[in-house]
Amino acid sequence: MRYRTVLKTLCGLLGVVFLPVVAIAVLYAVYRPAGRPTLDRDRDWRPSVSVVIPTYNEATLVGDRLAALLETTYPTDQLEILVVDDSTDETAAEVRAFANDRATDATIRVIEREERAGVAAALNNGVTAATGEVVFRTDADARLGDETISEAVAALADPAVGGVTGRQTGVVGDSAVESDYRSLLARLQALETRIDSVFIAHGPCFAFEREAFEPLPPDTVADDTAVAVGIRRGGRRVVMDPALEFTEGATSDIRHRRERKDRRAVGLLQQLVRHRSLLGRQGGYGRVVLPLNWGLMVVVPWVLAVVAGVATLGGIAVAGPVGLLLPAVAGGFLLLGSREALGPLQPLHAVADAYLSLLIAGGRLVRGNDTATWDTDTGREGFD
């Protein structure tokens, strides 16, 4: 009888896990997100754009990054590039050398900070120094499509839109794990855009009107998503437009992936908690989008952890050491997935990997073990 009770409890918990999945399926059937969002675009609007790039020890990347920005279709005489640098290497010197050697109508400036205060503080400094009507926040390890800045500006011409993020169309380093994750995220963001506004914005590709920006608390980890939530709190939408294409470096290596993804997960959970007062407010954003993200990022990972723990203990109680088979299989699944060796099951690893990051992040937040500073991702491939 005791085992039946445990089994029923486990089945009930697994039912909770599938609720967000069912909800997403129903929402997809109702809203049918497809293609680009319907916006009041104005392709003749050409405001000044300030591209803000926080950097930390990016000397080997920053020159190519600046050159690529100058090759986009947006008019260079309307372009300002601000590199906000925390480095201990020669990143700032590389930026100055590039600006001196390159003949361009764009303005290129570097803002050196004496002390590392984190990416949120870097963005605050960059936006404060910016002169453009539009801020385009990106990273030194990202590459934008030729039309990305132009498409972002056209979308921001819609008076209801305060911010627009893009879709990652490639992964430098050929990480199947990251590619699978980004593909799933893009589908969710297309749905959120159709409902109201996205929760997650992508730091490598995120444009917003400068007047819509509110300075971020210095301990903010996910600065991009924090800006997006602030814009929606102010009454304007943040949308994902797949025409804003970008690529970013990534790795499937489990150690390097943990460093990057776990920190990102800390930032997302931080924003959910800090802006919990928006639940039920701001139309579909507070009534559907945020509850869905709470379910996916907070409820489901911990329910799965409880299910795994109870199932393991139950297995040990019934079958002794054989009960350890479940955590062994889970560990093997994660290891094989990080090596991209799961074959047709590989996309499932993207979900498992994300939930693992969210569990680790939840523990770090509870312990107060989170930081707004960041390190160069030593797992990046294909840039040097």
Q: If pLDDT is split at 50, 70 and 90, which confidence band does 368 have?
A: confident
Q: Is the per-residue pLDDT at 366 higher than 70?
A: yes
Average pLDDT in the chain: 89
pLDDT at position 253 is 65
**Pairing mode, strands 206-209 and 161-172:** antiparallel
229-277 pLDDT, tens digit per residue, is: 999 999 999 999 999 999 987 665 666 677 788 989 999 999 999 999 9
Q: Is the per-residue pLDDT at 376 higher than 60?
A: no
Backbone angles phi, psi at 323, to 5 degrees: -65, -15
Answer for the pair 160, 225: CB distance below 8 angstroms, yes or no.
no
pLDDT at position 379 is 43
Q: If pLDDT is split at 50, 70 and 90, which confidence band does 383 have?
A: very low
Counting beta carbons within 10 angstroms of the beta carbon of residue 145, is it exposed (0 to 12), middle (13 to 18) or buried (19 or more)?
buried
Q: Is the per-residue pLDDT at 314 higher than 90?
A: no
pLDDT at position 321 is 85
pLDDT at position 228 is 98
Vertex 127: Cα angle to 121 and 129 (nearest 5): 105
Q: What is the CATH number of domain 1-384?
A: 3.90.550.10
Look up tokens 């100055």; give the residue. Answer: 96
pLDDT at position 17 is 84
Q: If pLDDT is split at 50, 70 and 90, which confidence band does 371 have?
A: low
Report CA 136 to chain centroid distance, whole Å.
15
DSSP 202-263: -TTSEEEEGGG--PPPTT-S-HHHHHHHHHHHTT-EEEEEEEEEEEEE----HHHHHHHHHH
Residue 292 identity (one-letter amino acid)? L
Vertex 242: Cα angle to 239 and 244 (nearest 5): 90
Give percent of the chain with pLDDT exceeding 70. Answer: 91
Counting beta carbons within 10 angstroms of the beta carbon of residue 253, is it exposed (0 to 12), middle (13 to 18) or buried (19 or more)?
middle
Comparison of pLDDT for 117 and 109, the residue scoring more: 109
Tokens matching residue 139: 């990273």
pLDDT at position 384 is 39
Q: What is the mean pLDDT of residues 124-135?
A: 97
List all residues 6 or more positions away from 212 whose beta carbon is below 8 Å from its beta carbon. 162, 163, 230, 231, 234, 236
Burial 165-176 (b: 16+ CB within 10 A, else e): bbbbeebbbebb
Backbone angles phi, psi at 109, to 5 degrees: -135, 155
Between CA 36 and CA 323 the distance in angstroms is 49
Give percent of the chain with pLDDT exceeding 90. Answer: 66
pLDDT at position 41 is 97
Mapped onto helix, strand or coil, the DSSP state of residue 6 is helix
208 to 45, 154, 159, 350: CA distances (angstroms):
15, 11, 12, 29
pLDDT at position 248 is 84
142-151, 297-306, 371-380, range with the lowest pLDDT: 371-380
338-348 pLDDT, tens digit per residue, is: 888 999 888 88
Paired residues of 172 in beta bridges: 249
Residue 143 identity (one-letter amino acid)? R
Domain limits, the chain: 1-384
Answer for the pair 239, 39: CB distance below 8 angstroms, yes or no.
yes
DSSP 183: H
274-308 pLDDT, tens digit per residue, is: 999 999 999 999 999 999 999 999 999 999 998 88
pLDDT at position 217 is 95
pLDDT at position 381 is 42
